[in-house]
Amino acid sequence: MKFTIKQIVLVILVVVLVRVIIISRKEGFSQVSDKKVCVILFGFAPRSFKHVHKTIKSRIIDVLRKKFSKVSVYHYSLLSKKGLIESNRPGENGMPINNDDVKLLPVDKMVTEYQEDIDIQDYVDKSCGRNENHKINPVRQFYQESMLQKVFPVDDYDACVAVTNDSYCLKDVNIQHVLDVCYNDNIIYTTTYNKYHGLANGFYICSPYAFKKVTNRINYYKERCKMLNGGVENPEAFLKYSVERDGLKNKDTDFFYLKIRANKKNTDYIKLMEENGISKKTADEMRAMFRGK
């Protein structure tokens, strides 16, 4: 088949145009955004931060710094005066821990409190958790989250990415989801796999507006438990109630992490790795590292 000069020129122009479009899209995605992002770590660092901090840096902080012009890192953590784990989990109670583990990852600002000093007893007494452990631990987290907007300048940023400091991250933070909340104040992204009839807590991508709303939920926790009239509600269901109460819109993000205990045991999340896109090789390595089954 013979082509005319006009047809050949047309084909060349189409090829050039397609290449220009592809290159433009690649450059557009790789271009550094002028939006500002804060990464906020919170939890009880002496428990397992030494096992996970490198993954938080590589999977969240470093990924964000490739895309955004300013990324600040903040860390709020409870510490232990006794230097011991207090837990009802077999093989963990009484384990020695090191408060200095909180310093393993350099941050822009760090705030710590001793867990023995925080005043949460009234919330625990009026909690709607199903047992003592499910009353104290959630209230501690609610308290910590409420402190984040008080001690860190979240309003200086376009987006917030918050993660508990016992999280072993196996996927990169989703840049498109971070960009989404830079332009949509009322959206909050949470993970898909640990909802427990509510919304997954412990990892949030959202605007400062949504962040302040969702982390302030301790202020109506007692009111919510009173509404249940003796019923029980887990932290995930309470988070869902809070998001709906404040008129926020929840979206799923594909981020995946394991929660690691002081004794290097894992939570049930380890059973969900393959179905959440983690390769069998990596999943087997994680099971060996953290004694999963």
Rounded-to-integer distance, Cα 48 and Cα 177, Å: 27
b/e per residue 189-205 (b: at least 16 CB within 10 A): bbbebbbeebbbbbbbb
CATH number for the domain spanning 173: value is: 3.90.550.10
The overall average pLDDT reported for the chain is 92
Contact 170, 278 (CB under 8 A): yes
Establish if 13 belongs to a structural domain.
no
Per-residue model confidence (pLDDT) at position 91: 77
Establish if 4 belongs to a structural domain.
no
Establish if 18 belongs to a structural domain.
no
Boundaries of domain holding 176 = 33-289
- 292 pLDDT tier (thresholds 50, 70, 90): low
Establish if 20 belongs to a structural domain.
no
Establish if 28 belongs to a structural domain.
no
**pTM score, whole prediction:** 0.88
Say yes or no to pLDDT of 281 above 60. yes
The pLDDT tens digits of the residues spanning 148-193 come to 999 999 999 999 999 999 999 999 999 999 999 999 999 999 999 9
Which residue carries 């996927």 as its tokens?
171
The pLDDT tens digits of the residues spanning 109-126 come to 999 999 999 999 999 999
What is the total count of domains within the chain? 1
Say yes or no to pLDDT of 29 above 60. no
Which residue carries 């917030």 as its tokens?
160
Establish if 26 belongs to a structural domain.
no
Establish if 223 belongs to a structural domain.
yes
Per-residue model confidence (pLDDT) at position 9: 65
